[in-house]
Amino acid sequence: MSLDCLFQPLERRRFLSVSLSSRGWTSFAQSSDSRVVYVSSTSGSDSNSGLSSSAPLKTIGKAKSLIRDGRPDWMLLKRGDTFSGGIGPWKTSGRSSQEMQRIGNYGSGNRPILKSGTKEGFVTFGATGHSIDNVAITGLSFIADTYNGRNGSFSTTGIRLTRQGTNWLVEDCCIQGYKDNITLDADGSGINHFTLRRCQILNAFATSSVGNGHAQGIYIANGTKNTTLQENLFDHNGWNSGVSGAGATMFNHDIYVNTGVSGTVIDGNTISRASLCGITMRSSAVIKNNLITRCPVGIKIGGSGSTISGNVILDGTDLAGTSGGATGIEITSGSGYTVSSNIIAHEQSGAKYHVTGIRIDGGVKNATVSGNVIYDWQQSINNGGSSGITIKNNQLQNHDTIAPLLDQVAAANPNVFHYSGNIYGTPRSKVNRINNSDKTLSAWISATHETGAKAQTIRYVSPNRTVGSGSFDAWINSLRSQSQSNWQSAFSAATVAGYIRGGFAIA
């Protein structure tokens, strides 16, 4: 069902007014009392009623004045039109999760473009006495058209939710070129149940003179609950090499989730070319089935109880302008981690040290790393954890002799560090390292008591498969131009990661 399909009013619709179509897009149906307001910058007039596509309003400000709080009203912008100033402040709520207010589009052509300059494209605040709930933003393009990296502020944000609220959906939107493309930093009880689906989040950047000087694709602040990021593209966020002072730094990321956040799920996204981290996660989360490529750090996590599974991390790079980086997954603190069934392959670092597929930092407790394939990465695993670290059934494969496959930083205590069933493939005679001393496999087994360990170079079906059939630029540009009207599942993270994963089947 098309997002733009409009229904004749029938009975009051309390159930199934919001559902998922067979093509994976959210479908909306009007309620009997929905007011639908049409806006066109090219053919509208504020003297029109705005209540039909043949009599649209001209300005978003006039249209917002017709949207009623607590009602399932819609504001639809004409496809192909460009609007100056963005949507700006939004202060009204829908009736319920099944009768949402919707800000979307109508007609044919490209998404409506909202040029918001150095201000927010969309922001919530000022709703005195109540939260802002049950709002969907669909099929729009937000651009910070006059922002140059120096003339902005914290307000230079594509979508910013600063008022507490529940049940938000942003789908099929392109948000690009802001300081922060999306910010969830609401007051009160924060944002609960925010979903971002099938959007392009691109090119956030800033210099030190703008806000805190940092830039993120999405920033999720303390108090946010139950955020889902699903099937989006996060690309080239946190830096702009063409703007002096806006180069890549260690503080900027595609996705940044701060402490005090709960219930986060990051599932099936394509995440690429971050300033530093594809995902920085300082709270507990489920991170699964993502495709992460060309990031200095794929996933950096410090939230106890997190699960990281089924991700494909490719082509790790150094932080721009430095000779350091190329870490697939780094666990920085906390306990109770599960890291399983990930593929980490083909680092592109120029560094000779600290280039690691999976790094477990000091202080980490009770982590299980199992069933991962780490291939063509300078060092497969660096275990600096404190206690309760289990590393089992991983395939660690490398072709050079720069570093041992597995570095057990402290002395090997089998009561603290548990190894079993790992397969080590390397031309080095001394396969692993314990407490700064390189060890042959037999010496490693004697010290760690690892059971089922093998020295074996695995022959995979096609381990050198790449994204985009060899042309990264063509592939990423196709992803950046996706929308509901031209969506191709061949470009999805699931499809591409499945293709890469198939190359690591054992021949």
φ, ψ at 501 (rounded to 5°): -60, -40
pLDDT of 310 reads: 98
pLDDT of residue 282: 98
Position 474 scores a pLDDT of: 93
- Is pLDDT above 60 for 192? yes
Residue 10: is its pLDDT beyond 50? Answer: no
Q: What pLDDT digit, counting tens, does each position of 299-342 carry?
A: 999 999 999 999 999 999 998 877 677 999 999 999 999 999 99
pLDDT interval class at 129 (50, 70, 90): confident
Confidence at 35, pLDDT banded by 50, 70, 90: very high
User: 304 lies in a domain?
Assistant: yes
Question: Is 221 domain-assigned?
Answer: no
CA separation for the pair 361, 302 (Å, rounded): 10
Q: Is residue 452 part of a domain?
A: yes
Task: Judge whether 27 lies within some domain.
Answer: no
pLDDT of residue 135: 98
b/e burial code for range 291-319 (CB count within 10 A of at least 16 → b): bbbbbbbbbbbbbbebbbbbbbbbbbbbb
Q: What average pLDDT score do residues 37-45 get?
A: 98
**Given this model, what pLDDT does residue 16 score?**
53
Residue 431 lies in a domain: yes
For residue 208, being part of any structural domain is answered with no
How many structural domains does the chain have?
1
Average pLDDT over residues 446-459: 98
Contact 429, 404 (CB under 8 A): no
Q: Position 155: which residue type? A: S
Over residues 88-105, mean pLDDT? 97
pTM: 0.95
Report yes or no on 348 lying in a domain.
Answer: yes
Query: Which band of pLDDT confidence, cut at 50, 70 and 90, is reported for residue 354?
Result: confident
Contacts within 8 Å (CB) and 24+ apart, 398-403: 398/425, 398/426, 399/426, 399/427, 400/427, 401/426, 401/427, 401/428, 402/352, 402/378, 403/353, 403/355, 403/378, 403/379
Give the residue from 16, 22, 187, 217 showing the smallest Cα distance to 100: 16
Q: For the chain, what percentages of helix, strand and coil (3-state, to nearest 5) are there?
A: 10, 35, 55
CA distance 374 to 382: 12
The contacts of residue 372 (CB under 8 Å, 6+ apart) are 339, 340, 341, 342, 343, 344, 357, 358, 394, 395
The per-residue pLDDT for 441 is 98
Kind plus residue range of the DSSP H or E element containing 475: helix 472-480
- Residue 475 covered by a domain: no
Rounded alpha-carbon distances, angstroms, from residue 215 to 46, 161, 180, 256: 37, 17, 5, 10
Supply the range of the domain harboring residue 447: 296-458
Averaged confidence pLDDT in the chain: 94
